[in-house]
Amino acid sequence: MKLKFHLHLRPLKRARYMKTILFIEDESVLQKTFGEIIAQEGYQMISALDGETGLRVAKEKKPDLILLDLILPKIHGFDVLKKLKEENETRDIPVIVLTNLEGLEDVEKALKLGATTYLVKANYSLEEVLEKIKKALGK
């Protein structure tokens, strides 16, 4: 028995490069919620639930931007940030720290290690975080 398939293709107006964001965050609910918002804005989101996975995925996928929590299982966020900035293949990827740590020492340490921006979760809405992402990606 032969099956016939009819493929209808719409011409692409213009293929556009979809920016990829790696979100290294251990709260799966936040991952899911933020992933939906990111997708609506035309970005692709990759998730990592711990620091070890986040480092591996960053090297493999080379995202356009990394959102990084600091309190993570396996490898702490500061160590992830330090390693990202030491590696040739990941050092130029902008990193936005998105965490609950509010201490001035934490902010200074993250910026010194190479974070582009430091955001405290409680102080920013998801829409405001999205605006910071757009700014970091040059949109």
**What CATH number corresponds to the domain at position 35?**
3.40.50.2300
- The 10 Å Cβ neighbour count of residue 26 is 17
Residue 24 lies in a domain: yes
Task: Determine the Cα–Cα distance for residues 125 and 123; give it in Å rounded to an integer.
Answer: 7
pLDDT tens digits, 86-132: 999 999 999 999 999 989 999 999 999 999 999 998 888 888 888 89
HSE on the CB side for 54, CA within 13 Å? Answer: 31
How many structural domains does the chain have? 1
Residue 59 lies in domain: 20-130
Buried-exposed string 73-99: b where 16+ CB fall within 10 A, e elsewhere = eebebbbbbbbbeeeeebeebbbbbbb
Asked if residue 4 belongs to a domain, the reply is no
Q: Is residue 26 part of a domain?
A: yes
Rg for the chain, CA atoms, rounded: 17
Output the pTM of the full model: 0.84
In a domain, 114, yes or no: yes
